[in-house]
Amino acid sequence: MWPLVRADIRCHRASLAGVFVTLMVSTILVTGLTVLIESGLRGGIDPERYTGADVVVTGSQSLDVPQDMDPIYAERAPLPPAVAKSLLELPGVADVIEDRTAPLSWDGTIVEAHDWRSAAMTPYRLTSGHEPGAPDEVVVDGSRAVELGEAISLTYGGIPTTYTVVGIARTDGPLPSRAEHVFVSEAHLTALNPDSKPVVGVVATPGSNPQVLRESIDRNISGVDTFVGRARGDAEFLDAGSARSQLSVIGSSLAGTALLIAMFVVASTLALSIAGRRRDFALLRAVGATPRQIHTMVGREVVAIGVLAAMIGVVPGYLTAGLLGSLFVRAGALPDDFALAYGPLPALFAVSTALVTARTAAYVAARRPARLAPTDALREASTTPARIGPRRYGIGAVFGIAGLAVALLPIFVSGEQGIAGAAGSAIMLMVAVGLLGPALVGGAVALLSRSVGSAHSFAVVLALINSGSNTRRLASAITPLALAVAIGSVQLFVNSTVATEAERQAVDGVTADLIVSAPAGVSPMAVEQVAALNGVRSVNPVTRSQAYLTYLEAGDPVTTMYSLQGVDPAAVVSTMDLGRVDGDLGRLAGTDTVALSTAAASAVGADLGSHIEVRLGDGFSIPATVVALYEHGLGLGEITIDGGVVRNHTTFGLVDSLLLAVDEGHSTGVTAALSVGGFAVTDARDLGAAGGQERSAQSWTSLIALAVLMGYLAVAVVNTLVMATSERSREFALMRLVGATSKQIRAMMRIEATIVTAVAAVIGTAIALPALMGVAYGISGQPWPTISPVAYGGIVALTAVLGFAATVGPTLVMLRSDPADSIGTRD
């Protein structure tokens, strides 16, 4: 069999080159995305301030979720009581250092303040001056040109304080790059932020192994996370863990979509390749080849090509991962100092996936030539293959009906389940189009033929006849283009629809006259000072964080993260409009009450009076009674709790912004007083929607993902269309021999390209619209998604350019050859 396989590959190099390119590009993409997934497990950020500690101990910073990825808490988790004392009692521990942090503002730049003893965790050493002792003394890290004895103003929570520089400290290596650091006395840091949550650095005795010491801590102390080596960066930077989770989600999502596209594209490419060789298969069947032998030959061909293509695609795949990582940094989805993890597993997975995909597609594509009787095979070799079978019709119809039904889910199921179902309908409709492609294309061409009628243009008539007589070939060209339109539309316009509704709710939901903020947050003392200003009627301190709700879905527990806002219940009515409210927001007091958006309540199955468990941003769990339900959760926060409770469970215990209701005629005076005090004063349009920063990063991430997928689809589309056009060399030669001019053939192919791109745009739009309308209805109650005409036009224009270039280009090349020579070439 292998000699026959090698001979077949040599004879059909041009046809199989398309399969090779498709598999190589697929391997590049899957390798790069799998590197992102692996980096979600092993990547991270190098420690800066904690390099002097052998083991770093924090509170448990993630929620244990069975059979799913453990979410990382957004806030610093507290340590169990007396952890430092317990650590000192363990063998191998030489010292234990607690690090507490308070955010300060220095000339508008946020700096981190620590007590002087924690400087040993880096370590910092005094190069001049002495340790801070008095409340107004500070040691700086040497990043600014500051002299001993100089007075500087540092602001905590909106309240400035003058400090005297009594020391300058430096590290043995480069200064930490994330932030500037200053050091004050332990007593003063406690006075600034008495509820700050410490991180503990453990210094091992000489000769002790940090990994062994870490294992000892894990065995003897519960409720803590321990870090050694590079992982200490996870303890120092809370965004390291969330970045890893984000990478895993991004990589998995993109990889899944890429694999789906790869299956479509490889199957389409192989179908074209095998269709162009149907005479060979007919002859093999006529001389006695069995169906199994046909399957074996095609399978071995594809595996041989796939191995070479996959091996070549591995190295560019790793380079692609680095490019994607840098793009995600620019998008704000990753910290700029996050390092990806490069291991052998992505290459192994990508190669294996490419081979499995190719072999599966080969089996599907070879089914028809393998199962035909020899006489039927010879007859079909000279004619257009029969229409698709009833089984394929049935499966395609099931996927199509299911996709449309799922798109309607938000009408009957509110909340995230309905929205997720609607978004997923596009995948089902893509599968349906892949299965029903020839039938859909045949119907579209028939409709065009009727609308054109008895056209006098030779090129138009011939293009329509050609398109209608070989719908399989046309469908192979249209399907990847339709996928490009559908995927591009869903990726772009789901995000724009969500962002538009969130911004609308945020702007409409804030009725306060003024919004006040400070660079590093606002302290409770500053809130009191603002409330005491003449003309201020009420102040609503708003603290934003995240919370987790666990509920049953299909009998299994599911944990979902929601945006959380802490407010003053007494000031909500005068400063916010949460939409239609059922219940009483005034009852939000203490740790035992909660208000939910209608979407969140629907997801968890809660109603007024329900008792639920809310896990706050630092992992602290509170049992609460639902006292109110409101509409504008997307823009303001899906969960609302008493502000004091939320602040107590954030990293620094500060307020994000103040919503002020001001007496008539006093806005100018209040604004002037606040500006003199160093506060920033804006209006509702500048507040931004809850989760807006995350959505912005997600939007840019989606654009990057779209660019990657569209790039892959562009290669696939060009590859497929070039193959489909190139196999028609004998057809063009025959037309020229019977009198058609090159100009007429070029015109015919331009019309065919127009048909391909137009039908692809219509089908791709039809795939995307149900999903977009379902998502829009789920979040706003109206089935009108936010679609940018420019963006949509760009997607269609891109597919049109690809379609024309890949169709007209090969045609021009083939028309340069002599028709008498072309008619005698092998088909």
Are 115 and 189 in contact by the 8 Å Cβ rule? The answer is yes
User: Residues of the chain with pLDDT > 70: what percent?
Assistant: 90
Range picked from 120-134, 168-182, 298-312 for highest mean pLDDT: 120-134
Distance, in Å, from the CA atom of 100 to the CA atom of 112, rounded to the nearest integer, reads: 10
Average pLDDT over every residue of 130-140? 94
Q: What number of CA atoms fall less than 13 Å from residue 687's CA on the CB side?
A: 32
Could you give the CA distance from residue 755 to residue 467 in angstroms, rounded to a whole number? Answer: 8
Q: Is the pLDDT of residue 260 over 80?
A: no
Band of pLDDT at residue 454, cut at 50, 70 and 90: low
Q: What is the pLDDT of residue 768?
A: 92
pLDDT of amino acid 391: 82
**CB 617, CB 578: distance < 8 Å:** no
Q: Which is nearest to 588 in space by CA: 538, 637, 641?
A: 641
Distance CA 381, CA 10 (A): 21
CA proximity to 249, closest of 694, 620, 778, 593: 694
Average pLDDT of span 530-556: 90
Region 434-463 average pLDDT: 74
Which amino acid, one-letter code, is at 567? V
Per-residue confidence (pLDDT) for residue 93, from 0 to 100: 93
Half-sphere exposure of 688 (CA within 13 A, CB side): 11
For 15-54, the pLDDT digits (tens) are 677 778 888 888 998 899 899 889 888 888 889 999 999 9
Closest CA to 608 of 589, 590, 585: 585
738-741: long-range contacts, CB 8 A cutoff, minimum separation 24 = 740/458
pTM (two decimals):
0.80
Distance, in Å, from the CA atom of 716 to the CA atom of 224, rounded to the nearest integer, reads 50
> How much of the chain exceeds pLDDT 90, in percent?
34
Helix, strand or coil, per DSSP, at residue 135 = coil
- The C-alpha R_g of the chain, in whole angstroms, comes to 33
Q: How far apart are CA 641 and CA 631, in angstroms?
A: 15
Chain segment 766-781, per-residue pLDDT in tens: 999 999 999 998 888 8
To the nearest 10°, report the CA torsion of 102, 106, 108, 113: -20
Please give the full DSSP string across 771-800, using - where no structure is assigned: HHHHHHHHHHSS------HHHHHHHHHHHH
For 240-276, b where at least 16 C-beta lie within 10 A, e where not — what string? bbbbbebbbbbbbebbebbbbbbbbbbbbbbbbbbbb
Give pLDDT, residue 65: 81
Q: Looking at residue 661, what is its pLDDT? A: 92
User: Contact at 8 Å (CB) between 61 and 72?
Assistant: yes
E-assigned strands of 602-732?
611-615, 621-630, 639-642, 657-662, 680-682
User: Distances in Å between the alpha carbon of 819 and those of 70, 163, 655, 750?
Assistant: 66, 90, 79, 20
What tokens does 214 get? Answer: 């870490």
Q: How confident is the model at residue 691 (pLDDT cuts 50, 70, 90)?
A: very low
Q: State the pLDDT confidence band at 9, using cuts at 50, 70 and 90.
A: low
Structure tokens at 111: 């700096």
Per-residue pLDDT tens digits for 121-130:
998 999 999 9
Where do runs of H (alpha helix) occur along 61-102? 83-88
**What is the pLDDT, as a whole number, of residue 504?**
85
Which of 703, 708, 559 has the alpha carbon at shortest distance from 245?
A: 559
Q: Are 640 and 589 in contact (CB under 8 A)?
A: no
DSSP codes of every residue in 360-402: HHHHHHHHHHHHS-HHHHHHHHTSPPPPPPHHHHHHHHHHHHH
Residues 6 or more apart whose CB falls under 8 angstroms from that of 667 comprise 513, 514, 535
Measured at the CA of 424, the angle between CA 422 and CA 428, to 5 degrees, comes to 110
Instruction: Find the mean pLDDT for residues 97-122.
Output: 92
Q: What is the mean pLDDT of residues 422-448?
A: 82
Section 444-470 average pLDDT = 70
3-state secondary structure of 100: coil
Q: Answer positive or negative: Cα dihedral of 376, 382, 387, 392.
A: positive
The helix (run of H) or strand (run of E) holding residue 259 is helix 238-275
Least confident of 43-52, 72-81, 115-124, 496-505: 496-505
The answer, yes or no, to whether residue 284 has pLDDT greater than 80, is no
Q: Determine which helix (DSSP H) or strand (DSSP E) holds 3, and give its type and residue range.
A: helix 2-11
Q: What is the pLDDT of residues 364-391, one digit of tens each?
A: 777 777 676 666 655 554 555 556 678 8
The answer, yes or no, to whether residue 287 has pLDDT greater than 60, is yes
3-class DSSP assignment, residue 404: helix
Arithmetic mean of pLDDT over the chain = 84
Q: Cis bond leading into 91, ω under 30°?
A: no
Residue showing tokens 């603290």: 543
Q: How far is it, in rounded angstroms, from Cα 43 to Cα 230?
A: 9
Q: Please compute the mean of the pLDDT values over residues 401-411 and round it to a whole number.
A: 89
